[in-house]
Amino acid sequence: MKTAHKAGAAGAGAIVLACAFIQPWEGLWTTAKVDTIGTGRPVTWCYGETEGPVKVGQKFTPKQCEDMLAAKLPRYNDEISRCIHVPISDKTRAAFISFAYNVGSAGFCRSSSARRLNAGDYRGACDGLMQWTRAQGKVVRGLVNRRTKERQLCLEGLTDVDVNRAAKADRGPVPAAHHYRWTDYVRNWWRIFVSKISL
């Protein structure tokens, strides 16, 4: 499960990680308010939720907010999985889910991180997250801090041996290096010699 890169076969562990990771970065708002940073200044509540017929001042419990986030993240996992064509670990996937939850799944799929990832540049994909630190044209310290932690989580996932194993499986078995001995050269020379005599 950790290394599969299809939406139906991967994501449960990553979603759990992402849910815990996202909560402190989004912040908990049990009373709906206007998001003064987000594009269009939408009404926001709980952990950065903006979808639904909710009005400013509407109340939620922490449990409702946590359940709402946990129910929504599988959608983000499915959406970003459509543009991930290489095996990744749960930690790396969780970092991308967090990123997508913040900027949108389409934003992730159009990003240099997605392009680098599918080109096999895993580290470059993690580093690419740091390009998304602006809101309304200005660098936001909170976004810098979040991207730094997302990048860190993404990089931690690159050390997962299961990812390396899955990547090799996708490419097929790697032939073992053959170390020639002097008898191999003699044997090859003799085959060539015999074949020329028989002509």
Q: Is 26 a catalytic residue?
A: yes
pLDDT digits (tens, 9 = 90+) for 99-148: 999 999 999 999 999 999 999 999 999 999 999 999 888 999 999 999 99
Residue 45, domain CATH: 1.10.530.40
Q: 137 in the Ramachandran plot: left (φ > 0), alpha (ψ -120 to 50) or beta?
A: left
Structure tokens, 139: 């660098």
* 98 is a domain residue: yes
Structure pTM? 0.77
What's the structural domain count of the chain? 1
* 180 is a domain residue: no
* 182 is a domain residue: no
Note down the domain range covering 62: 12-172
Catalytically annotated residue among 26, 49, 90, 160: 26
* 197 is a domain residue: no
* 70 is a domain residue: yes
56: closest CA among 36, 72, 71? 36
* 39 is a domain residue: yes
Residue 134's beta-bridge partner residues? 139
* 143 is a domain residue: yes
Q: Is 156 a catalytic residue?
A: no
Per the prediction, the chain carries an average pLDDT of 83
* 76 is a domain residue: yes
Residue 27, C-beta contacts closer than 8 angstroms, at least 6 positions apart: 47, 48
The Cβ of residue 115 has, within 10 Å, a number of other Cβ atoms equal to: 15
